[in-house]
Structure formats: C-alpha cells, structure tokens
Amino acid sequence: MRTTVRKIAEEAGVSPSTVSRVLSGRGAHLISPATRERILAIAEQLEYTPNTAARSLVTGRTGLVALWMAQIYTRFHARVIQLVEETLVYHGYDVLIRHIGFAHTQHRWNIGSVDGILAYECSLYVDSIWKRLHRRMVPVVSMGAYYNKNVDHVGVDLHTAGVQAVRHLSDVGCRRIAYLVNAESNVAGDARRDAYDTVAQERGLLREYIVAADQSRSASSDAVQQYLREYGTPDGIFCHNDEMAIGAYHGLRQLGVHVPDEVALVGCDGIEDTEYLDVPLSTICQPLEEMCQVGWEMLCQRMSNPEREVHSVILQPRLLVRASSMR
Amino acid sequence: MRTTVRKIAEEAGVSPSTVSRVLSGRGAHLISPATRERILAIAEQLEYTPNTAARSLVTGRTGLVALWMAQIYTRFHARVIQLVEETLVYHGYDVLIRHIGFAHTQHRWNIGSVDGILAYECSLYVDSIWKRLHRRMVPVVSMGAYYNKNVDHVGVDLHTAGVQAVRHLSDVGCRRIAYLVNAESNVAGDARRDAYDTVAQERGLLREYIVAADQSRSASSDAVQQYLREYGTPDGIFCHNDEMAIGAYHGLRQLGVHVPDEVALVGCDGIEDTEYLDVPLSTICQPLEEMCQVGWEMLCQRMSNPEREVHSVILQPRLLVRASSMR
DNA sequence: CTCTTCTATGCAAACGTTTGCAAACATTAT
DNA sequence: ATAATGTTTGCAAACGTTTGCATAGAAGAG
C-alpha cells in the first residue's frame, strides 16, 4: 500500500489539504515554514510519490507528451528521440513514444491521454487525422516534413537546401544527375524531389529517378547497381537521405565505380555515419537541436492558449560539402 | 468538454454502470446485445475516449510501461526502442521512454506511475536503485548487460560469444590481440573484457587494452591511432561494440593499415552498419527480437504475480564472421 | 479593548470511472 | 399459481488528489 496524502496528514496532524498544498507545490507559500518542513520530512521518510492518476483526474493534465514518429529506424531517429526526451524531461514532462508508421496504418493513430503531441515526420496532412486532433483540441506540433497549414509546424527548408545541393552537383561538372528515392515516400510535394526537378529544369538536365524499394541501405545499394547496369552510369546522384546515400555509395563501390571521380554523391540529414566512410559524404545538415527547441516552445504556447492562431517556423539547414562531391 | 460515461448513459437511457461495463469490456457479456449495440453506437458517434486518469484511479493500473535506456544514441538503440514499442503496443500498453544515463545520473531514475519497467542496459546493480524499485514493488525486468540476481533479467551470453570471437581471432593467426574499450563502462565484471582476458590467458597472449574516451566512433578512431603510434600495431582487435569497431576501422584506414591483412577486426552487436563498410566487419549478433519477446513475457509474469521468484534467461548470440577477420 | 487585516489551516465537493451487491425482471420447473 | 433459477440492470461507494470557500487565530490599528 503506497503512501497517500491522507496518511501523511494523519502522521503530521494536519489536514490532507495542507499536505497537498505543500507537496504539489501549488500552495506551498501559504503554509507556515514549520508545518511545511514537517510535512516534507514525513513525505521523504515514507517515500511518498503522488498518485498521478488522482492528480490528473482533478487537474485535467497528465504531464505526458506523446512523441509520434513515422519511423524509428535510423540513428537519425534515435537522435530525434534523445533530443526530444531531454527537452521534455527538463521541463517536467514524461515522453510517451509511438511508432505510427505512414498514412495507411491509421489504427495506430489513436490519441492517448496526453497533454500534447509532437509529431515528427508524420502524415498529418491526411484529413481524418488532423481533423480528429482538432476536434479533440489536442495541442499538436508537426515537426519535419509534411506541412499542413491547419497545424502548428516547425520544419526545415529542404527545398532551398536541395536546390543548393543539386546545383552544387551541377557546378562541379555533373551533367547526368539522378535522384535516388524510395518507392514508399514518393508522395506529391516532397521537397527534395521538387528541388531536384527544379534544378533539372533550370539547368536543362534530363530527369532520372532511381527508385529503391525502401529507405534501407541494402535496397538503395541494389537499386543503384541495377540502375547502372540498365541505364549506364550517371555522374552525380542526389539521395533522398543519408541512409540511402550510404547504400548508394556501397553499391557504387561494389561495381568498382569511383566516388567522387566517376559519380559525385550528396545525401541529406547530416547523420554522423556519413563522416566515417572511406569517402566522407556530402550532406544537408538538419538543425535538429533547434527544431526540438522550437517545437517544444510552440507546443507550450498551444497548450497554454488553445485558441492561438496557427504558426509555422521554417529553419534553414546547411549544405555540407565533403569529399564525395569534390572534384 | 469531452464525452463521459455519464453523458452516454443519459443519451442511452441507462445507468453509468451499464455503459462502463460495455465500454471497459470487462462486463460486456453481462449486458443484453440490444443495449450493448446502442451504447456502442452512441459512444462511436460522440467520439468517446475513456479518461485514463479516472480509470487508473480505480483499477490501480495505468496501461503504461516505461522503457529505461542508459543511452539513446545509435541505430542499435533505435532498433531496441522500435521492437519494444511494437511488442507493447500490440499488447495494449503505451510506452514511456526515459533516457536515464549511467549510474551517476541518479536524478533521472525516478519511477513514474507505470505498471512496469523494462530497463535496457541500465545499471540496476546499483543498490540504491533496485532496492527502491523493490520497496515500491514495481515490476521490472532488466535487459541486456548488468545482471543483478535480485531482479528479473533477460540477457545475452556475451561471455561465451566473446570467447568465441577472440579465439577466432587467434585461430586466424593473430598473436597480438588488443581489446578496444571505452573508459566509462570499464566496470568490473564486463562480459566482453572477461572473455578477452580468458582467451588471452588460455592462449598465452599479452593483454593489451586500447582505451577510448567514450563509445563514439571518433574517440575510438583517435584512440586506435594514438595506440598504434605509441605501442606499434597489434594484428587483431576485439572491439567492445560495433560503433567502436567502425571507429577503429576508420582509424586504421587513416594510418594506411590494411584490414584484415595487417589487423583483423571483430565487433559486437550486429548492427546493420557493419555490413556497409568497404570491408564488412565481423561481429557478434545479438538476438534482439527474442530478447524483447522474452523480456515482455517476464514482465507480464511479474506484473500478474509480484511474489514470483526471480528469473534469469540468457540467450545465445552468434559470431558472424565477415571479411574484417578472414585471412 | 474592539475592529480590521492578514496568515495559516480545514471542510467538503469534485474529477470520471469501476465494481460488489442488491434488485428487478424474465424464464422455467413444479 | 408459486417457487426457483437465471439474466440484465441500477445504486452507491470508492480510488487519491486538488481547490474554492470558510474559519480560526494572530497581529496590528484605532
């Protein structure tokens, strides 16, 4: 039987109210120092821990924030989780993690009893999702891609960065630049594909898509190898993300194709792994810390003021040129 | 204002009890089909979601399981999180994630209101920790390393696997085998170090430790390079984990040392990355899926029977020999 | 010495759900 | 028709906390 407020009250010879005021912190200043100390001492000794269910029931808040993630797979995702966890725990919240997958796995999208949701790279553009969130008045901030003008959002301008990246490939002399993408996420409006298309048109290049089955390294490696055998060798590849870039690099090596002399490579995300290949990969670095920080602040705002108008913040990533695209 | 049981009861012309029995599922069989259907329809229409705080208050259970992790850093950790999440959600639980760090960051070790804890690679051997858990009667299963005979545990026999790995290095002709480890986790009883020591003695090899500042690739790379310059080149390195092995590989490349001809390399964990280096790394594959599965089952047992005697399950990993240790 | 003001504490209701027990009703057996 | 049995529902208490309002006592003002 766990220690309760009532128990402590009896022990200290005061009422539960007084104990609650001290222990919840909300009315501690109203209580005389002597009583407060006594209560704190007893609580400590009896190893009191508040019953959060009871507390939530009356306050209406749970102290829980959900972190929704479309995928939990790469080192990049681990970093997102770690950063979010750090931020939220620092501010007194617990983090409930949910791997919700993509738009077709909607059975996973049920909202629990949380004070707010940080949705990282989730398909909130799907009407049935955000409308339900909206009806329930659940504070939610969408992070990363998949912008929806009805939901608070902090993202990264991957279009601009993508344009820079593809132009960069062109600038170092590439004339056949392919875009490596996975079959699944080839949704309309993907910023990186748009960037690729834009520059391809701007520089009068033919568009070549290398489509991998999924975002894994092996699928990317396979796709690249098959593509080269079938269509010959492009001289540059812009990759949807770093995982796929590493896969591409691997595939090229398998074929004995030199990076960057024969094929220049640029990835996206800025994960640490790209630095530890024999030929370090150029990439677009995402400002993750900043994104978490801003995401949290927006969620706070929304939680304290549900009627607030919808905001959107777009951060600037930066192109990091390494050996894989230097000539 | 969210829909409550009372509201539905009024709407359906029945008592809250009846609604509760239908909606909680616990007494649905007692209710007449007609009433049940009517209640379900109304609940659906009014988008009822139970108030978990109220429910927890009376049932005493929260539907929450905490996942404690010492680190959230690598792709390996992402995989652990993903597997645990999948298992728990499948069984109707939500996952609360907590990055608790190592033994010295005890301020993070406060137990929330959860039904149980899965502690992955956490220093539960520290008395103050597990004793508190024990007093609070919180069901907890320790996963991975750091075995404590007072706590349920599912682990991997890294000693046996480590012995196999180091013997393997010896078998392919290595006479100077070093152990690459990080300074922090050099705790007494580390299975891999013990394995290394065992085989070193068995085969009459000198023990050589390469100590990196931490588990990062860069620290490992640096440590290896400095060690080689100072003490010459061993012909085999057994690495604490794959991250460090990748760092070591990188460091050797920097020095122009060939893997595996000059130095053979074996890591530990079985992360996907090891497959995608120019020289794929030998490693010890951990049976993660199985560990999650077993961990969950043990936690279930403990949750339903707190008095149960302490169990420990040790799974067998397997040594995967790749190019980095083939001669 | 009385009246006011302030400080410290207690009372009791409320939060939304579950559940043991009792009661109402329907059904069947005698 | 009555009793016995089985099915379906309602009543009311309980879970542990918080908080608006009231009150008792202390301190200060007149």
CATH number at residue A252: 3.40.50.2300
Q: Is the pLDDT of residue B108 over 70?
A: no
Would the pLDDT of A311 be above 90? yes
User: Is strand D in 7 Å reach of the CB of A220?
Assistant: no
In angstroms, rounded to a whole number, what is the distance separating the alpha carbons of residues A177 and B2?
A: 54
Task: Report yes or no on B22 lying in a domain.
Answer: yes
Say if residue B23 is in the same domain as residue B109: no
Question: What does the block give as tokens for A11?
Answer: 């022990």
When the pLDDT of each residue in chain A is averaged and rounded to a whole number, the result is 92
Indicate the length of chain B as a whole number: 327
| Nearest neighbour of B97 by CB, restricted to A79, A95, A112 | A95
pTM of the model: 0.87
The total number of structural domains in chain B stands at 3
B window 96-155, beta carbon within 8 A of A: 96-99, 108, 111-113, 132, 135-136
Residue B55 domain-assigned? no
Whether A106 shows a pLDDT value over 80: the answer reads no
**Do A296 and A152 fall into the same domain?**
yes
CB contact under 8 Å between B98 and A94, yes or no, is yes
Residue A57 included in any domain = no
User: Same structural domain for residues B177 and B141?
Assistant: no
Does residue B36 lie in a domain region?
yes
Please, which residues have CB within 8 angstroms of residue A324's CB and are 6 or more apart in sequence? A245, A249, A259, A260, A264, A265, A266, A277, A279, A280, A281, A282
Q: What does the alpha-carbon distance between residue B204 and residue B175 come to, in Å, rounded to a whole number?
A: 9
Q: How far is the CA of B14 from the C1' of D25 (A)?
A: 50
Of B2, B62, B78, the CB nearest to A74: B78
- Look up residue B230 and give its amino acid: E
Residue B53 sits at the vertex; the CA angle it makes with A7 and B60, to the nearest 5 degrees, is: 55
**Residue B56: inside a domain:** no
Identify whether residues A259 and A186 lie together within a single domain: yes
* B59 lies in some domain: no
- Residue-level pLDDT at B185: 66
CATH number at residue A20: 1.10.260
Same domain, A140 and A190: no
Residues in chain A closer than 8 A to B253 (CB atoms): 278
Using pLDDT thresholds of 50, 70 and 90, give the confidence band for residue B297.
Answer: very high
* Same domain (yes/no): B280, B198: yes
What is the C-alpha separation between B281 and B180, in angstroms, rounded? 15
Provide the 10 A C-beta neighbour count for residue A273: 25
Which pLDDT score is estimated for A324? 98
With 80 as the cut, is the pLDDT of residue B107 above it? no
Distance between alpha carbon A26 and the CA centroid of its chain, in Å?
A: 34
Q: For the segment B189-236, what is each residue's pLDDT rounded down to a tens digit? A: 788 999 999 999 999 999 999 999 988 888 899 999 999 999 999 999
Nucleotides of D under 7 A from a protein CB: 7-12, 14-20
**B233 and B220 co-located in one domain:** yes
Asked, for residue B45, whether it belongs to a domain, the answer is: yes
Per-residue pLDDT tens for B7-53?
999 999 999 999 999 999 888 888 999 999 999 999 999 999 999 99
Q: Does A85 contact B64 at a Cβ distance shorter than 8 Å? A: no
Predicted confidence band of residue A230 (pLDDT cuts 50, 70, 90) = very high
- pLDDT reading at A103 higher than 80: no
Calculate how close chain A gets to B295, using CA atoms only, in Å: 18
Q: Are B291 and B154 in contact (CB under 8 A)?
A: yes
Q: For strand C, is any atom closer than 7 Å to the CB of A22?
A: no
A208-212, A249-253, B72-76, B104-108: the lowest-pLDDT one? B104-108
Question: Do both A143 and A188 map to the same domain?
Answer: no
CA-based diameter of chain B, in Å? 85
Question: Are A137 and A168 contained in the same domain?
Answer: no
Q: Closest nucleotide to A34's CA, by C1' atom?
A: C8
Do A185 and A166 share a structural domain?
yes
Residues B182 and B151 in one domain: no
- A298 & A254 share domain: no
Q: Which of B44, B51, B82 to mutate to test the interface with A (most CBs of A within 10 A)?
A: B82
Give the residue numbers spanning the domain of A300.
Answer: 64-156+288-316
In a domain, A58, yes or no: no
